[in-house]
Amino acid sequence: MLIPSSDILDLGLSVSLNCATSKEEPLSVNLTVVIDNPDLLGAVCGPNDCNLDEISSLLSSPVKSRGNELFLDSADEERNLLFRSLLERLLELAGRDEIVGSHQLRSIYASLESGGDADIAAFRDNIIRIPGGTRHIYPRSIQQTSYIRQMSSRDLVFSIGPAGTGKTYLAVAHALMELLSHKKRKIVLTRPVVETGENLGFLPGDLTQKLAPYLRPLYDAMEDLVDPDLLERLRNNGQLEVAPLAYMRGRSLKNCYIVLDEAQNTTIEQMKMFLTRLGEGSRAVVTGDITQVDLPSPGRSGLADAVRVLKNIDEIALTEFTSEDVVRHPLVKKIIDAYESHS
């Protein structure tokens, strides 16, 4: 089988993919890809061929290199075509001086495997680049790409789905990007504190110590994205506020980026209160899993109600994640699927 040569999408580079299959053994078919540009070849392979090891794992077939040639040992035609498409996208990414690493590779692979075209221009447009951050954040699924696009274009975004899909992490990353790019003056991160009915007075310590166990996941996300010293400066100068939802009552938040996490545990009244805090120039992202409601009356979840009531307002966006979008340990997806099948 011959696969036609393909130029790399108007990059002005003397790079081509010359792909053919040759049967060296009855049960072995090697797809050979030739990359003539040594710089791009090195970028695609990664340090010590770490990207090739990653591709081998994703495709469940060994990928080897020899000179300027890459080999996929597979008799599966669909897998061969996926390998070729993946390399085309990685070459285009490298040709645009973007990093080609594990996150990027897995994002492109996930898009291709799920039937998307892994458009590199769209991929690059939806990278979260945090000024002074520890690293760029790349979408790792089609839904994550859509989610980032919505957060950049809408003032109110709802994100619902199971744990491990990046709902909170991406929202916090996008908030930090907007703040440190001087597009917003302040970040407000909030959660309902269901476990104590938001009555924190009886707990030991000052307010920060009382809240720490409940708001720890939000701090974890931020600490993975920016230097702890920068976070401390943002807190000290009032540009970062982390507080329970009850503390939002009576406020008008102007030119802020507001993230409401675990929103499935808001009541209908609390959700309405929160949504009406949105002031001029502000953006809000509301995240939660409507299958994990901890309220005494689960049927009164403010998140589920808001999605139902507001779904026809054009200025409001909704991203719905499924277990297919889980980007934690692969076992997490199987656990979620198992529980859903027995619910």
Asked if 319 and 166 count as a contact pair (C-beta separation under 8 A), the reply is: no
pLDDT in tens, 263-290: 999 999 999 999 999 999 999 999 999 9
Give residue 216's pLDDT: 82
Tokens at 204, concatenated? 């030991």
4 has pLDDT over 70: no
Average pLDDT score over the chain: 82
pLDDT in tens, 220-249: 889 999 999 999 999 999 999 988 898 898
pLDDT tier at 205, thresholds 50, 70, 90 = low
The class level of CATH for 142-341 reads alpha beta
16 has pLDDT over 60: no
pLDDT in tens, 172-194: 999 999 999 999 999 999 998 76
Task: Look up the pTM and report it.
Answer: 0.73
Contacts with 156 (C-beta within 8 Å, 6 or more apart), sequence order: 275, 278, 283, 284, 285, 286, 315, 316, 317
Quickly name the fold that domain 2-125 has.
Ribosomal Protein S8; Chain: A, domain 1 (3.30.1370)
pLDDT tier at 199, thresholds 50, 70, 90 = low
Q: What percent of the chain has pLDDT over 90?
A: 40
Domain residue spans of the chain: 2-125, 142-341
Q: Report which of 164, 166, 161, 171 is spatially closest to residue 322, judged by C-alpha positions.
A: 161
